[in-house]
Amino acid sequence: MSKKITFDYWQHLYSNRTENMFSSEIRDLLSLSARPDIISFAGGLPEVRALSFQKLERYIKRILKADGDISLQYGGSDGYYPLRTKLIEVMKLEGLDVVEEDIITTTGGQQALDLLAKVFINTGDTIIVESPAYTGALNSFKSYEAKIIEIPVDDNGINILILEERLKELEKKKIQVKFIYLVPNFSNPSGITLSLLRRKKILELAKKYRTIILEDNPYGMLRYEGKSLPTIKELDTKGDNQNVIYLSTLSKLLAPGLRIGWIVAPHPILEKIMLGVQSTILCVSAFTQRIAYEYFSDPSWYENIDRFISIYSRRRDVMIKTLEDTFPKSASWSKPKGGFFIWLKLPEYLNTKEILADAVRNKVAYVPGSGFYADDRGLSEARLAFCTENTERIEKGIKILSRIVKEKIKLYKSFK
């Protein structure tokens, strides 16, 4: 079957949006990181081996016995109600107070982003993102042909002064910003956390300019030091209008393989999102939602979070220490207080895409920075995931990277 196609016969049939859909560098590299001989700082793969597979087996046994027929059947478009009750408990730990009717479950956090883009973005609509921003979010927003405005982050998160300036300019031009997309806690990819002051300020700005904040919080519960900050959603108490849509995922708290995320939004918006669920997937897997329900019904899930924190914080410590011990002074990196990622900045004359080829030859992978910008910036930057490899391999991998970077710097200077 699979005939060789020498030209693309279907060119006249594709939608315009396909021109804006680029393959995610993260996804392409996941194929590399799957090779056991590669030390992967590429994909943010959680340590699912820290889960008890025996317990999972027991949950599933119980499910098939108690209501296999329901969990193997189609489910409701708003998600499995008892799981939503459990998600309320999860969110309580983040300081949120919501009810089941405020929540809709999705096929992972990525579908939450896609559904929100579907509900808000017309071709050419303006949205704002922190910069660098999560590739998956950029991919989704691009596929809806949004005009993406990037506001740089510093050590305290998105730059509020620049944000306010841009919002003012846009208002003058009568351009409505559809939403502002943020990962306030230990952002993907920067690892940076938005300060409390800025959380308050950005909420004010959203209200003033009548726009929405998409608060994406996959890593909030994975904090390794310091005191947790209130979510922007929690701060949004003034007036009748809720300007924050909160989204998260079970990929980091349980397992990505179950593909469960969720959205908390005002009801009129949820209604539109639910129509989006119906037209895109009909419903989220009743079976994996049922498994997640069992998982969060077993109090041992709290201990699992502690276990995750203990594993990831050690990995972070080793990665930062090895960076400090071995990397040249001309490089810098973020020091995340939680989450999965460190953002690395090399001297501007270095290209992390080029270096990746060398790195992979030496059995180390990471994600070049350019994928986290809507344009082609970030060429000398890179995302390092410390969540996936054990401390020994992290130390080894960073040392290899350091050697390659030093060689590149030496080579550059010898030509100068």
Q: Which residues pair with 249 in a beta bridge?
A: 261
With vertex at residue 112, the alpha carbon angle to CA 262 and CA 211, rounded to the nearest 5 degrees, is 105
CB count, 10 Å around CB of 23?
A: 9
**Rounded least distance, CB 400 to its own copies, Å:** 24
Cβ closer to its own copies: 225 or 303? 303
Among residues 92, 208, 210, 238, the one that binds its own copies under rule CB under 8 A: 210
* Helix, strand, coil fractions of the chain, as percent rounded to 5: 50, 15, 35
Among 122, 87, 118, 114, smallest CA distance to 101 is for 87
| 282 touching its own copies, by CB under 8 A | yes
Cβ closer to its own copies: 22 or 412? 22
Cβ closer to its own copies: 213 or 320? 213
| Amino acid occupying residue 232 | I
| Whether the bond into 184 is cis, omega within 30 of 0 | no
**Rounded least distance, CB 124 to its own copies, Å:** 11
Among 42, 110, 101, 56, smallest CA distance to 249 is for 110
| 37 touching its own copies, by CB under 8 A | no
Helix H segments across 196-265?
Answer: 196-208, 232-235
Among 89, 181, 87, smallest CA distance to 126 is for 181
| 174 touching its own copies, by CB under 8 A | no
Cβ closer to its own copies: 227 or 267? 267
With vertex at residue 298, the alpha carbon angle to CA 293 and CA 304, rounded to the nearest 5 degrees, is 100
Q: Which stretch binds its own copies (CB under 8 A): 207-215, 326-334, 352-360, 375-383?
A: 207-215
Cβ closer to its own copies: 265 or 320? 265
Sort strands 261-264 and 103-106 into parallel, antiparallel or unpaired. antiparallel
Distance between CA atoms of residues 10 and 83, nearest Å: 43
Cβ closer to its own copies: 69 or 376? 69
Among residues 17, 168, 208, 410, the one that binds its own copies under rule CB under 8 A: 17
| 414 touching its own copies, by CB under 8 A | no
Cβ closer to its own copies: 102 or 381? 102
**Rounded least distance, CB 328 to its own copies, Å:** 33
Per-residue contact flags (x/-) with its own copies for residues 39 to 78, judged by CB under 8 A:
----x-xx-xx-x-x--xx--xx--xx--xx-xxxxxxx-
Among 353, 351, 363, smallest CA distance to 409 is for 351
Distance between CA atoms of residues 405 and 359, nearest Å: 9
User: Which string of DSSP letters, residue by residue, matches 23-44?
Assistant: --HHHHHHHHHTSTTSEE-SS-
**Rounded least distance, CB 344 to its own copies, Å:** 22
| 105 touching its own copies, by CB under 8 A | no
Q: Total residues contacting its own copies (rule CB under 8 A)?
A: 102
**Rounded least distance, CB 120 to its own copies, Å:** 6
Among residues 283, 319, 320, 364, the one that binds its own copies under rule CB under 8 A: 283
Among residues 40, 107, 193, 380, the one that binds its own copies under rule CB under 8 A: 107
| 98 touching its own copies, by CB under 8 A | yes
Among residues 124, 152, 176, 300, the one that binds its own copies under rule CB under 8 A: 176
| 294 touching its own copies, by CB under 8 A | no
Distance between CA atoms of residues 352 and 358, nearest Å: 10
Cβ closer to its own copies: 117 or 331? 117
Cβ closer to its own copies: 281 or 360? 281
Q: Which stretch binds its own copies (CB under 8 A): 1-9, 186-194, 307-315, 324-332?
A: 1-9
Which residues within the stretch 239-278 sit at the binding site for its own copies (CB under 8 A)? 240-242, 251, 255-259, 266-269, 272, 274-276, 278
Cβ closer to its own copies: 99 or 196? 99
| 86 touching its own copies, by CB under 8 A | no
Handedness of CA 25, 30, 36, 41 (dihedral sign): positive
**Rounded least distance, CB 245 to its own copies, Å:** 10
Helix, strand, or coil here: 135?
Answer: helix
Dihedral over alpha carbons 317, 322, 328, 330 (to 10 degrees): -10
